[in-house]
Amino acid sequence: MNYRKIEINSEDKSLESILPQIAKWHNMTPKLWRPEYRVTSKDMEETIERIKNTKKEDLFIMIAEDNNKIQGFIWACKQEKPQDSVMILSLYITEDYRERGIATKLKILLEEWCKRECIKIIQTTVHYDNQNMISLNQKMGYNPGMVRMTKTL
C-alpha cells in the first residue's frame, strides 16, 4: 500500500479524479446507516469546493493507493475552536481493503502531521452503528464524547 498526501494547490493532474472520488465516498457514507439517503451532484460539487477552498496549511488529505488505485483516504482540517485542534471530516476504506490496518495507518500519518503542526487535539465523529471505527478509535486513545440524537416528525 502506498500513502500519499494530497496537495490541492499543486499541478497534480490526478486531482481531477481524486477529488471526485473523495467527494463520492464522503457523501455516500450516510447511506451505510440510512438506505434512503440520496447524494446529489450539488452535494458532490460542494464537497469538492470545500476542499479546494480550505487554506493549504489547514488541510490534511492522505490517500492509500494500491496499483495506482485509491483504496481509502482521510480528510481532516484545522479548527478555529478549540485552537490547536483538527477535525477528521472523513475516513473511508474500500470494502475489499478493510481489516488490513489502512485506517490505522492513515490516522497515524494524521497524528504525525498534527505533531509537526503543533496540533494538540484530534476530533472526529462516528455513527453509533459503526462499531469497527469506534473500536479503532478507542484502541488509538480517542475518548468518547457527545452523542447527538434526532427525531424525525
pLDDT tens by residue, 118-143: 999 999 988 888 889 999 999 999 98
Q: Would the pLDDT of 10 be above 70?
A: no
pLDDT tens by residue, 44-103: 999 999 999 999 999 999 999 999 899 999 999 999 887 899 999 999 999 999 999 999
- pTM flag (> 0.95): no
Report which of 146, 132, 147 is spatially closest to residue 101, judged by C-alpha positions: 132
Alpha helical stretches, state H, the chain: 15-28, 41-53, 102-116, 131-139
Domains of the chain: 2-7+14-139 (3.40.630.30)
- Sign for the pseudo-dihedral over CA of 110, 114, 115, 120: negative
DSSP lists the bridge partners of residue 73 as 63, 92
- Other C-beta atoms closer than 10 Å to the C-beta of 64 total 24
d(CA 114, CA 76): 10
